[in-house]
Structure 1
């Protein structure tokens, strides 16, 4: 709820006193918290989940009152239109307690269950593993961030991004991303993670993540913070947050990065929606070029230096396809073969898929989109720490 030794007013005006665990507006009192003790790197599971993390008052989720108040809060957010939740620091909570809370959260107004994903910091040889939480939903796969950076820097390593020998999370439950809000603020966790600061490699990494058949991907959208890791979003002198103006080239102004609008990222979301449910096939791999098909629905290629010219098996039906990234027409013959050309170092990615076909007739090009009713949803990530 708050760091120890803090007291005063919350943003909505309610009083609190963390030293005595007094939060009357909820209400929470001392009996709703675990007893003070400290977590360390070598702690056993009981200590990790029952003690105070970094001096933060630790709610006891086994308590029926804590469960009921948490469920009421999450349900109120659903009433306001929230459709999903990031459960931060799930590592430090008992999975059974989280399951008890999750089961009581109501369905969405439009039907279906809310989206849940759980932050579990499993980076190999940890006391707590992601597998303990997969029965609850998607679980953050921290190892993917460092693996994908190494893979983009050395394409030979891309096959190791899903190395199950390391006990990595299974693809049906892995929540994957190239960077997150924490690693980004540390300039890529000291160089171990890619961020928008390395634009070309970042485009390759996110495009590959969206084209790949591993996990459920998240796309970041950021703002420039320079060397000030604590800098808030672009704002005016009175600290009112600035709007997000869109430029003619589809980039954003006012120091908003808007990497989710970059072609190699935004247009790959449409590709991902089309190929869902298929596996990677027809793999092509060199030291600086990668390509593969997703069943018979899509084909993806990328080149480290922005240059590629090869005849490859696409796995697609014969026809003319429009490259989602650079607009080039790709012709697939009756055997599924096509000449794959990439010649744009700024957008070193190519993606074609069924439903993005082109009819060529008397030198006039028409877009043929027989399944163009794809649902393109944007997930707004509202980070909710329900324990601390």
Structure 2
């Protein structure tokens, strides 16, 4: 009997032990399952966040196959100091996907408040009213870290007017213009064309190349000594990390001279000439000498296609139905540098181009430029002015203060405009695609797709327009990046069609990297918060189960 009782106790112990093993197994399974569920919930939120917030700065850091920097959006930060540009690279340019910032000439120059003082070099030392050499270097480093390259506006055709004698530039460089002596640059009288007359005709290339441009001493760029000095200047900038150049007044130099300068730069920098990104200011008019036309300079790099700007204004102040023909007979796509306006045209040709003073039409023209596949687009960010010579806001003879953007600021800060930010993202999203589904209604409205990556529709009238357009975009809910930054304005693509009312003088711009997966941004935030809270509760439960 005692033996039987002992057997029963032993059986119960074995049974209890087995139950405990089973319960421990269940707890471990539940612990593992709960932990995995929590991790999965958090991972889902993170994947969604990274899916809808693209790493835009990556666009500027990729390498092209031909040795040149990849094509991308440029913003011209006109007359903005180096400290301000460095800050803006971190705040706006990098995060918004701007590939390059074009800066005003960095070399030492004559004193004065006017903007054009930067375009009269006295040496190639990098101390100017825009900042010191150290600040310039820091700007390059800071912007590159943000995925943004620096393009330098280089003034190499001339120096200054001939009136100043024994004086110094903003950065302390000595010069004697009256005697054509610039010791800190390395120039003597022998380095200049000895013709003391201004250009009087553009129908003779020799006059354009050898006479003075508005009274400025004209360098003899055919001389090897001059080419070497200029080549060393370019090489210094390249070694600092500059991505490329906009060469001022290129048409005022013989194409062979420009080629020689670029070759000297390449030699000094240890590069191949074809691997230096070189954009050239070449204003072409058909009535001028064929030798100074833009197509004569494509052998050394891209050229500014001013005709593109002129046509944009004509279309937007007339009818935009034929905008698809805007590039007819222009410089080939890969050689064209384009813009809606720049600092010269907004002052000297305001009746031929669109500027900030044209309001909505200016924004629409910039949107089209960024949406239509032609050339290298350059967005101009300058400041408001009343007189042609007005310097930057707050400028003195030797200094330009920091840029301050805001409602009452004189700075335009174009790169921060909602439509511009949205269209920069559009440009990056549709790279490599062609125009498809071009449509116009013969009533100053157009629309087109960029393959299955993007869609733009423009209403260039003073009244709202109900539209129904075909698009190659996949069906779904898209953010209108032209009108809103946080996807507060959405557009539905259904059955390959967009049916919507476009406000007067406005646009809708949709692309595949701005898709409204979760409804509004606030809805996404709410869903994300709920998932995160649920994940935290699961983690707590997992800890309790795993401790038992």
TM-score in terms of structure 1 length: 0.81
In 2, Cα distance between the equivalents of 1:229 and 1:35?
30
Q: Match of 1:301? A: 457
Are 2:135 and 1:135 aligned? no
Aligned mates of 2:464, 2:473 — CA distance in 1: 23
Residue 59 of structure 1: which of 215, 219, 233 is its match?
219
Moved over 6 A (4+): 236-239, 361-364
1:270 aligns to what?
425
Contact between 1:358 and 1:366, CA under 8 Å: does it hold in 2? no
Pair 1:178 & 2:340 matched: yes
Alpha-carbon separation, structure 1, partners of 2:263 and 2:312: 34
- Whichever structure has more strand as a proportion of its residues is 1
Aligned-partner Cα distance in 2 for 1:296–1:39: 51
- Quick one: structure 1 residues 306 and 275, their matched pair in 2 at CA, closer, same or farther if it must change by over 3 Å? farther
Judged with a 3 Å threshold, the aligned counterparts in structure 2 of structure 1 residues 136 and 341 are, in CA distance, closer, same or farther, namely farther
After superposition, give the CA deviation of every residue in 1:25-52 in whole Å (9 maximum; x if it has no partner). 2211122222315532244223322332
Aligned equivalents of 1:292, 1:194: Cα separation in 2: 22
1:28 to 184, 187, 206: 187
User: Which range moved further: 93-102 or 154-163?
Assistant: 154-163
SS in 2 for 1:197: helix
CA contact 1:358–1:365 (8 Å) conserved in 2? no
The equivalent residue for 1:351 is 509
Cα distance between partner residues in 1 of 2:396 and 2:369: 38
Contact 2:209-2:253 at 8 Å conserved across structures? yes
3-state DSSP of counterpart to 2:263 = helix
Go from structure 1 to structure 2 and tell me whether the alpha carbon gap of 1:104 and 1:364 turns closer, same or farther (over 3 Å shift): same
Tell me what 2:482 maps to.
325
Matches within 5 A, 1:209-248: 209-226=369-386, 228-235=387-394, 241-246=400-405
Distance change >3 Å, CA 12–CA 34, structure 1 → 2: same
Q: How many angstroms apart in 2 are the aligned matches of 1:236 and 1:64?
A: 37
Distance in 2 (CA, whole Å) between partners of 1:72 and 1:324 is: 44
Structure 2: 5+ residue runs without aligned partners? 1-158, 526-548
292-301 or 308-317: bigger deviation: 308-317
User: Secondary structure of 2:288's partner?
Assistant: coil
CA–CA separation in structure 2 for the residues paired with 1:126 and 1:22: 33
Separation in 2, partners of 1:282, 1:29: 60
- Offset at residue 171 of structure 1 (A): 1.8
What CA deviation, in whole Å up to 9, does each residue of 1:142-164 have, x standing for no partner? 11222101111122453442231
Counterpart Cα distance in 2 of 1:150 and 1:104 = 41
**Is 1:256 matched with 2:411?**
yes
Partner of 1:161: 326
Cα deviation code 1:178-210 (max 9, x no counterpart): 111012224xx2522211112111111111111
| Distance in structure 2 (CA, Å) of the matches to 1:313 and 1:4 | 62
Maintained 8 Å contact 1:116/1:137:
yes
Partner of 2:12: none
Structure 1 residue 117 corresponds to structure 2 residue 265: no
**CA distance in 1: counterparts of 2:170 and 2:335, whole angstroms:** 35
> Measured at CA, do residues 264 and 80 of structure 1 come closer, stay the same or move farther in structure 2, by a change above 3 Å?
same
Q: 1:331 to 1:366 in 2, by over 3 A?
A: farther
Normalising to structure 2: TM-score of the pair? 0.59
Partner of 2:516: helix, strand, or coil? strand
How far does the alpha carbon of each residue in 1:203-239 deviate from its partner, in whole angstroms, 9 at most, with x for none? 111111111122211101122223x222212218998
Structure 1 pair 239–120 and aligned structure 2 pair: CA distance change class (3 A): closer
Secondary structure of 1:134 counterpart: coil
Q: CA deviation at 1:141?
A: 1.1
- SS in structure 1 opposite 2:381? coil
Q: Is 1:149–2:313 an aligned residue pair?
A: yes
Instruction: Report the equivalent of 1:384.
Output: none
Task: Name the SS for the 1:85 alignment partner.
Answer: strand
Residue 292 of structure 1: CA displacement? 0.6
Number of aligned pairs?
Answer: 352
Q: Which has the larger radius of gyration?
A: 2
Contact 2:170 2:398 in 1 (8 A): no
Q: Secondary structure at the match of 2:367?
A: helix
CA RMSD of aligned residues (A): 2.9
How far apart are the structure 1 equivalents of 2:399 and 2:261? 36
